[in-house]
Amino acid sequence: MAYKIYFDQIDAQLLKISPHQDIMLLRVIAAVIPMIFYGLDALYDLPALYWLGMPFYLFCLALYLEGLLKSLLLMRKVSAELLIVLVMTVTLIDGAPLSGAMVAWFIGLGLYISFTIIRKNREKIESLIQEGKKTAQLLQGDRIEEVPINQIKKDDVVIIPKGAMVPIDGLILDGASSIDEAIITGEPFPVYKEKGASVTSGTLNLTEPLQVKADKNGDDSFIAVISQEIENSLLNKSELQRRADTTVQILLLSVTAYAFMLFYITGSLHLMATALAVVCPCAWALATPTAFAANIGRLARSNILARGGEPLESMQDIKTLILDKTGTVTLAEPEVSQVIELDMPKLRLLQLAASIESRFDHPISRSIINYAKQQGVDALLPVKQAEDLPGRGIRGHIEQQEILLGSAETLRYQDIEIPAIDYSGRAIWLALDGQVQGVIVIRDIMLAEMQNLAATIHDCGIDRVVLATGDNEEQEARRVADYIGADEYHFNCTPEDKTALIQKFQAQGRVAMVGDGVNDAPALAAANVGIAIGGHKNVSLAIVSSDIVILGHDAQDMVTILRLSHKMGNIIRQNYLWAVAFNSVGLALATFGFLNPIFAALLHHFSSVFVVVNAGRLYFTGIERSLLGPVFQKMDSLTERKRLCRNPAQPSTAENAVAEQEG
C-alpha cells in the first residue's frame, strides 16, 4: 500500500523521540505537558501558559490522529483513537482544552498500562519462541563457527557446551552428560546420556560438553517447530474474538453518532465530549484476546501447547472424552505381573521364555528377560531357528524342542488347546512341542496418579469418559478402565475403529480425543478437539493432527487444560459483562449530565485496566493471592455456569513445576 510507506516513515521519526521507543508512552507524555500548563493557567489566570500549552496539545492531537488514520487507511477499521481525537477537538472548540488534555492523558495512560501488561505477558510467551531462534556452535573441520539454528543441516556436527541449551535434535557422537528434559517431558530428574543416545532440542546439557550429530535440519527440530507453533497460536483468532472485533467497530461508530445526536439535541459540546470520553471500546476489544494470550502462555509454561484460543474455548463444551491406553494413561513399557506354570517349574518356564525373547528387541521381550533375571534365571539357553511371527508371537528351537510364545489366538492357529485359566492382563502363552506349559501375564505399568482419573474429569463437566485401546486382550482393557474409572471401554481398536467411535459419540455432543499423536493421528484429527500426549516424540505429526499438544507424558495435564479452559471462559464472560454494564451505566450518566469529561476519562481508564488484570490472572497466579483475591473469588462464584474443576484430584507434574517457579 502506498500509505504504508508514509506511515512507516512517520513512525520511524516518532520512535526516535519516544522514551524507550514506545509511541504510546510518547502520547501520554504529550498529554501531560499541556495538562500542566492549562492547570496552572486555570489556577493563576496566566494566559501565557495557555498559549505555551497549545503546541503540545496540538502535537498530542496529531499523534492520536496519526494512529486513527493508520487504522482507517491500512486496516480499514476504526480504533479507540477516534474517541480521543473527537474529544480533544470538541473540547478545544468549546474553549476547554484542559478537559481534552486530561481525557487524552487518562485514556492514553489506561491504554498504555493495559498494553504494557499485555506486552509483558507476550514477552514471557515469546521467550519460549526465541528459544527456537538461537545460534548453535557448528564444528567445521578444526574450527567452530556460530550459526543460526535454522542453518544447521542434517548430519552437521554441533558442539554443546556444559550448561547450554541443546539447539538441535540428534545423536551424541562424543561425550556423556546429564540432560535436563523437564521442558519437554516434565520429568524433574536429569537423564544421563552417553555416546549413541539421542538428545532433543530445548533440553539442557548440565554436566559435560557434547558433540552431537544432527539427525534433521535445524528448521525441523523439536524446539524450532514448537516455537513456530506458539507464534502461530498467538495469531489465531477464534469466532468469539472475531465477533468481538466486529462489535467494537459497531460500538465506536454508534457512540460517535450518539454523541453528535446529543450535541444536535442539546447544543452542549460538554455533554458530547463526556459521552465520547466515558465509552470504553477497549474493554470489548481486550476481553477475549487477553484471556486467550494469558491462557496460551500459562499452558506453554506447563509444557502444553495450544493451537490458538479456539480449541481451549471448545474444551468447555466437550461431552465425551476418549482416551487411548498405551502411552496415555499407562507407560509404554510393560511389566510381568504374574507367571502361571502348568507342567513345568516356574524358573524353567522363565528360562525358556527369556532365551527365546533374547533374540528379539521389543518392550515385551525386555520385560520378560528382566523379570527372569530378577527371579534368579542366571543363564540363557542357546536358541536355533528363532522366528518372528508378525503380530502373533515368536518361535524357536531349544535342545531340539520347539518353543512357541504368543497370544491365545496364535496358539489356536497352531491347533494348540488353551486351558481355562483366570488371569488379569495380557497373556503370553508358552507351548513346548505343541503342549501348553504355562502363561506369562504382561500388564502395562499404571501410573499411580491415573487412579480414578475419570472422576476428576467428570468433575470438570465431561459426561462420559471412554477408554479405546488397540490391545486385543479384553482383560487388560477392563483392568485399565476399572483403574481410571472409565464409563466404558473398547478393545482391539484399529485407528479406523477409533475414528468411527468418535463419529458415533459426536452425534451426542462434542468429543475430545487424547492419544499419542502418531498411531492415533486420524482419530485426533476427526475429534472436535484432538489432544496429543507425549508430543515430544514426534512433534511435527502431533501438531498437524491435534489441536493441543501435551509435551510430557502426564495425563493429569488434561485436567489442567480443562480447568484453565473453564476458568478462561468464565473470565471472558466477566469481561464482557463488565463492558456491557460499564458502558451502559457510563453513557446514561453522561447523557443526564452527572459526569464531566475528566471524570469520564478516569472511569474509561479504570475499565481498560480492570479487563487486562482480570485476564492476566490466568497467567500471573499471584494476582489471586493479592489483596484483590477475594474480589475475584466473589466474581467467579457469581459468573460460573457450573462449579467445575474446583478440586482437581492431584496437580500435574507441569503444574507443580510452575508453582515452584512462582514461588
Q: Output the nine-digit C-alpha cell for 196.
A: 549413541
In the predicted structure, residue 348 carries a pLDDT above the cut 50: yes
Please give the average per-residue pLDDT across 328-335, as a whole number.
Answer: 76
Structure letter (DSSP) for residue 86: H
Predicted local confidence at residue 647, as pLDDT: 47
Please give the average per-residue pLDDT across 642-659, as a whole number.
Answer: 51
Q: Which residues contact 328 (CB under 8 A, 6 or more apart)?
A: 514, 515, 516, 533, 534, 555
Predicted local confidence at residue 232, as pLDDT: 58
Please give the average per-residue pLDDT across 224-249, as a whole number.
Answer: 63
In the predicted structure, residue 116 carries a pLDDT above the cut 90: no
CB environment 154-179: b (16+ within 10 A), e (fewer)? eebbbbbeeebbbbbbbebeebebeb
CA-CA-CA-CA torsion sign (433, 436, 441, 442): positive
- Could you tell me which residue, 589 or 387, shows the higher pLDDT? 589
Query: How far is Cα 449 from Cα 303, in angstroms, rounded to an integer?
Result: 18
Predicted local confidence at residue 323, as pLDDT: 92
Q: Output the nine-digit C-alpha cell for 394.
A: 515368536
| Per-residue CA distances from 260 to 107, 199, 253 (Å) | 20, 66, 11
Nearest CA to 109 out of 596, 603, 583, 605 is that of 605
pLDDT band at 170 (very low <50, low <70, confident <90, very high): very high
In the sheet that holds 529-533, the strands lie side by side as 304-306, 548-550, 529-533, 510-515, 318-324, 464-468, 488-490
In the predicted structure, residue 544 carries a pLDDT above the cut 60: no
- Quick one: how far is CA 25 from the chain centroid? 31
Q: List residues bridging with 550 in a β-sheet.
A: 304, 533
Please give the average per-residue pLDDT across 639-658, as a whole number.
Answer: 55
Query: How far is Cα 89 from Cα 86, in angstroms, rounded to an integer?
Result: 5
CB 460, CB 440: distance < 8 Å: no
Query: How far is Cα 120 from Cα 378, in angstroms, rounded to an integer?
Result: 61
DSSP string, 477-530: HHHHHHHHT-SEEE-S--HHHHHHHHHHHHTTSEEEEEE-SSTTHHHHHHSSEE
Predicted local confidence at residue 262, as pLDDT: 92
Q: Output the nine-digit C-alpha cell for 388.
A: 518372528
Query: How far is Cα 440 from Cα 352, in angstroms, rounded to an integer?
Result: 12
In the predicted structure, residue 308 carries a pLDDT above the cut 80: no
Predicted local confidence at residue 565, as pLDDT: 92
Please give the average per-residue pLDDT across 555-562, as a whole number.
Answer: 86
Same topology between domain 153-216 and domain 332-446: no
- Could you tell me which residue, 552 or 238, shows the higher pLDDT? 552
Please give the average per-residue pLDDT across 374-398, as a whole number.
Answer: 84
Within 10 Å of residue 98's Cβ, how many Cβ atoms? Answer: 22
Q: Which residues contact 9 (CB under 8 A, 6 or more apart)?
A: none
Instruction: Return the amino acid letter for 229.
Output: E
pLDDT band at 648 (very low <50, low <70, confident <90, very high): very low
CATH code 3.40.309.10 for 304-329+447-551: no
Instruction: Return the amino acid letter for 503.
Output: Q
pLDDT per residue as tens digits for the range 44-79: 888 899 999 999 999 999 999 999 999 898 888 888
Cβ-based burial of 43 (10 A; exposed 0-12, middle 13-18, buried ≥19): exposed
Comparing 138-147, 169-178, 585-594, 638-647, the range with the smallest average pLDDT is 638-647
In the predicted structure, residue 550 carries a pLDDT above the cut 70: yes
Instruction: Return the amino acid letter for 221.
Output: S
Predicted local confidence at residue 643, as pLDDT: 55
Please give the average per-residue pLDDT across 632-650, as a whole number.
Answer: 68
Predicted local confidence at residue 59, as pLDDT: 96
Query: How far is Cα 102 from Cα 104, in angstroms, rounded to an integer?
Result: 5
Q: pTM of the prediction?
A: 0.66
Comparing 124-138, 469-483, 596-610, 626-640, the range with the smallest average pLDDT is 124-138
pLDDT per residue as tens digits for the range 434-465: 999 999 998 877 777 788 899 999 998 899 99
Cβ-based burial of 40 (10 A; exposed 0-12, middle 13-18, buried ≥19): middle
Instruction: Return the amino acid letter for 182.
Output: A
Q: Output the nine-digit C-alpha cell for 316.
A: 468447555
In the predicted structure, residue 657 carries a pLDDT above the cut 50: no
- Could you tell me which residue, 38 or 605, shows the higher pLDDT? 38
Q: List residues bridging with 490 in a β-sheet.
A: 468
CA-CA-CA-CA torsion sign (500, 504, 510, 515): negative
CB 10, CB 16: distance < 8 Å: no
Query: How far is Cα 70 from Cα 74, in angstroms, rounded to an integer?
Result: 6
In the predicted structure, residue 203 carries a pLDDT above the cut 90: no
Predicted local confidence at residue 117, as pLDDT: 58
Share of the chain above pLDDT 70, in %: 84
- Could you tell me which residue, 310 or 236, shows the higher pLDDT? 310
In the predicted structure, residue 104 carries a pLDDT above the cut 90: no
CATH code 1.10.760.10 for 153-216: no
Q: List residues bridging with 427 in a β-sheet.
A: 441
pLDDT per residue as tens digits for the range 482-539: 999 999 999 888 777 888 999 999 999 999 999 875 557 678 878 889 898 875 555 5
Structure letter (DSSP) for residue 378: -
Q: Give the domain ranges of the chain.
A: 2-127+239-258, 153-216, 304-329+447-551, 332-446
Fold topology of 332-446? Calcium-transporting ATPase, cytoplasmic domain N (3.40.1110)
pLDDT band at 355 (very low <50, low <70, confident <90, very high): very high
